[in-house]
Structure 1
Amino acid sequence: MKGLFKSKPRTPADVVRQTRELLIYVDLHAGSRGADPKREEEKMAELSKNIRDLKCILYGNGEQEPVTEACVQLTQEFFRENTLRLLIMCVPKVNLEARKDSTQIVANLQRQQVNSRILASEYLEANKDLLDTLISGYEDTEVALHYGAMLRECIRHQSIARYVLESDHMKKFFDYIQIPNFDIASDASATFKELLTRHKATVAEFLSKNYDWGLILFPFPQFFAEFNSRLLSSSNYITKRQAIKLLGDMLLDRSNSAVMMRYVGSKDNLMILMNLLRDSSKNIQIESFHVFKLFAANKNKPAEVVNILVTNRSKLLRFFAGFKTDKEDEQFEADKEQVYSPEGMHRTDARVRRDANEQSRPSCMGG
């Protein structure tokens, strides 16, 4: 007779539906005046357990691998109604473990396919305001790292990354990267890098359109002018090092060749890089060199760029003569040789050099 009264095992869809009901309750009542503390505590505990069960279905339980059919059922039910929205919006209201589990659930759902469709991408396309919530999460220390991790998973989808790139939020990252909280600043920097490197065609289009983005989308300085002044010129070592590494990654990517040519044609950009070559950090010097070499290798240098290189030639040659990496690096030595050899920096069109020498420009290199 005992078997007659056993509860029926919950299906993945059941777990999602019950989780959704609990999320609705928490969203409406958690922390509200007049709420029954005991009932709220019970609901929170039940919600945390359901969220943990969802994670186990998607990831397995340590002894068993996740079952494909169960993941499909869970995913279908998750996006049948607004469970993803509720889960994201309730992150600030649940405990730390539930936040961690929720972050892993959102991440996993971005990869789940149902009949070759990624339902998460379609849902986010129709609910882009959720991206606004995730990005603004960097302003809340309690949820910043959870929302940041979710955001990076969401921008795996090209259309979602494009939305963020083209949104007014992009300029906020220059502030988020320099938040005093090291963990949050590092997380924002990781997201910023992901946005500017993952989807190459989309990034190339964004950079080309918004090189002078004040003229295109926003009442805002040029993207690279802001990048130079806020990040490359930062007094913070980590910010500066990450920025110069990211700049090199962007400019050395073939898909960004048109933007790279614009960047290396600017004397202002060249002066920034020459100053970075003098940084007290060898790591920053090396990363700066990988960008500086693009200026030197450009066969169509504008006269103002040539003039700066010629004016500072002797100082640059002295600098490069003693410029070495800590470990032997044949490629680095080859690049350095190309920069200051007769085939590199010395070989400048005679007419352009003469025109440049007629102009009086300040020296960028000290000493």
Structure 2
Amino acid sequence: MKGLFKSKPRTPAEVVRQTRDLLIFIDLNWGTREVKCEEKVFELSKLFRELKSILYGNSEAEPVSEACAQLTQEFFRENTLRLLITCLPKLNLEARKDATQVVANLQRQQVHSRLIASDYLEANKDILDILITGYENMDIALHYGAMLRECIRHQSIARYVLESEYMKKFFDYIELPNFDIASDATATFKELLTRHKSTVAEFLSKNYDWFFADFNEKLLSSSNYITKRQAIKLLGDILLDRSNSVIMLQYVCSKDNMMILMNLLRESSKNIQIDAFHVFKLFVANQNKPAEIVTILVTNRNKLLRLLGDFKLDKENEQFDADKAQVMKEIASL
């Protein structure tokens, strides 16, 4: 008779409901009934593994689209995401990792050709504020950062973050002393400024003055090698993107911007020099150079030609050599 009355497996919606009930319990009782909460956290960890298994599949089976759709609908029907994010600091490391992967996967789940996560976040934008300021908490910064990057896959959500007051905070987060958190903040910052082309172009044209003032002062002039290197690479990606051609022309007409790039060309790091060159060449190639830029290039002509003449890559690169020759020719002919 043993095994005859096996309990019926739970549906994906039931797993979500149980998860929500436990999150509510932990949220309400944390700090008051500590021991009981620890038991609940343990139960919750098992449920997160179950949710993950439904969404990602496991070694025995691929995910089933109908089960994923059920789970997604139930998850966003009520405030499960908000509860999960609020309770994340109270969970153990494994549960946090699993929860982060569940949230990441849910951003991609379509139900009747709609991204439910996007609609939910549209209506609950303050959740993004919680995720962004998570960079200030060392314990959860990397989990919140990973969730945030998945949320900004949705264009409207990326626009919200770009236009929010929190955008300015990224300049501080990138300079945080904890290397992993600073790197994570840099990855999110890059994603915000490169993923959705039209939204980024609109943001940069509206916020040109403060954004590039901060970018130049805090990132390109940073004393931290990694910050400086990643910033100059990102600047190149932004300016060389066709969607940002108007921004690029505005940037290369500023003598202050060019002076920063000329200083970066003299850095001891070869990598920074190379990335700086790819931006510097835009100033030289500009057919409508302002008079003050021409004056600076002429005044520093000999130094620049000597510097560029000695400038070689470790491996042969025809494109780089051609660009360098063109830049030197342009400077020599001014």
Task: Please give the range of the TM-score, normalised by the shorter of the 2 chains.
Answer: over 0.9
Aligned to 1:324: 312
- More divergent stretch after superposition (305-314 vs 58-67): 58-67
1:326-354 CA-to-partner distances (Å, cap 9, x unmatched) read 1111111011011011xx22344xxxxxx
Give me the whole-angstrom Cα distance separating, in 2, the residues matched to 1:153 and 1:294. 33
Contact 1:173/1:192 (CA < 8 Å) preserved in 2? Answer: yes
1:31-60 CA-to-partner distances (Å, cap 9, x unmatched) read x23x151x2222111111001100110011
Shift, 1:3, TM fit: 5.6
Give me the whole-angstrom Cα distance separating, in 1, the residues matched to 2:41 and 2:61. 27
Structure 1 residue 307 corresponds to structure 2 residue 306: no
Give me the whole-angstrom Cα distance separating, in 1, the residues matched to 2:169 and 2:38. 37
1:99-122 CA-to-partner distances (Å, cap 9, x unmatched) read 000110010000000000000000
Give me the whole-angstrom Cα distance separating, in 2, the residues matched to 1:3 and 1:183. 49
Structure 1 residue 208 corresponds to structure 2 residue 205: yes
Give me the whole-angstrom Cα distance separating, in 2, the residues matched to 1:10 and 1:90. 24
Give me the whole-angstrom Cα distance separating, in 1, the residues matched to 2:173 and 2:286. 34
Counterpart code for 1:346: A
The unaligned stretches of length 5 or more in structure 1 are: 213-221, 349-367
Shift, 1:6, TM fit: 2.2
Contact 1:134/1:148 (CA < 8 Å) preserved in 2? Answer: yes
Structure 1 residue 120 corresponds to structure 2 residue 106: no
Give me the whole-angstrom Cα distance separating, in 1, the residues matched to 2:149 and 2:250. 29
2:155 maps to which of 152, 155, 158: 158
Aligned residues: 334
Shift, 1:4, TM fit: 5.7
Aligned to 1:250: 238
Structure 1 residue 64 corresponds to structure 2 residue 52: no
Counterpart code for 1:332: F
Give me the whole-angstrom Cα distance separating, in 2, the residues matched to 1:178 and 1:277. 22
Give me the whole-angstrom Cα distance separating, in 2, the residues matched to 1:271 and 1:147. 37
SS at match of 2:77: coil
Give me the whole-angstrom Cα distance separating, in 2, the residues matched to 1:63 and 1:293. 54
Shift, 1:148, TM fit: 0.3
Counterpart code for 1:325: L
Contact 1:297/1:345 (CA < 8 Å) preserved in 2? Answer: no
Contact 1:12/1:74 (CA < 8 Å) preserved in 2? Answer: yes
Counterpart code for 1:11: T
Counterpart code for 1:77: E
Structure 1 residue 193 corresponds to structure 2 residue 190: yes
SS at match of 1:79: helix
Amino-acid identity (%): 76
Alignment of 1:168-317 (within 5 A): 168-212=165-209, 222-317=210-305
1:271-308 CA-to-partner distances (Å, cap 9, x unmatched) read 00000000010000000000000000000000011110
Counterpart code for 2:158: A
Contact 1:196/1:203 (CA < 8 Å) preserved in 2? Answer: yes
Aligned to 2:14: 14
CA RMSD after TM alignment: 1.0
Aligned to 1:357: none
Structure 1 residue 144 corresponds to structure 2 residue 144: no
Give me the whole-angstrom Cα distance separating, in 2, the residues matched to 1:196 and 1:347. 36
Give me the whole-angstrom Cα distance separating, in 2, the residues matched to 1:143 and 1:318. 50
1:96 maps to which of 77, 93, 96: 93
Runs ≥4 in structure 1, deviation > 6 angstroms? none
Aligned to 2:327: 339
Shift, 1:9, TM fit: 1.0
Shift, 1:63, TM fit: 2.2
Counterpart code for 1:166: E
TM-score, normalization by structure 1: 0.89
Give me the whole-angstrom Cα distance separating, in 2, the residues matched to 1:270 and 1:119. 46
Counterpart code for 1:8: K
Shift, 1:87, TM fit: 1.1
Counterpart code for 2:172: D
Contact 1:138/1:144 (CA < 8 Å) preserved in 2? Answer: yes
